[in-house]
Amino acid sequence: MSSRTCPDWPELMELAPELQFKHYTVAEARLPADALMQIPGVALSDVAICCDLERHVFWAAHTESRVAEALRSSHWFEVQDWVSGGRPGAF
């Protein structure tokens, strides 16, 4: 799977217009080691993530559930958490 804009971008633009969500394989996204350690036995080139790589925000609805859970315990934000105040610098 190559990088591409999420097909649900209009919905995501309503939630967080400053973010640009694309679909990647986990291998392409180069996720943090602490998250990858939580999903052993997963073929990283076969598992998808929908995210804004630059801001470390993912959309759980389009991300494999084991990957989403692992990212929740890292420095990454799920988009709903980002919107509800998780943005770095938001008070």
Query: For 38-63, how does the pLDDT look when each residue is reduced to its tens digit (9 = 90+)?
Result: 999 888 899 999 999 999 999 999 99
Q: For residue 77, is pLDDT > 60?
A: yes
pLDDT value at residue 2? 46
Task: Give me the residues paired with residue 49 across strands.
Answer: 24
Mean pLDDT, to the nearest integer, of 17-27?
Answer: 94
Residue 83: Cβ-neighbour burial (10 angstroms; 0-12, 13-18, 19+): middle
Asked if residues 36 and 22 have their Cβ atoms less than 8 Å apart, the reply is: no
Q: What's this model's pTM, rounded to 2 decimal places?
A: 0.86
With cut-offs at 50, 70 and 90, classify the pLDDT of residue 14.
very high
Asked if residues 22 and 42 have their Cβ atoms less than 8 Å apart, the reply is: no
Cα–Cα distance for residue pair 10/34, rounded to 1 Å: 32
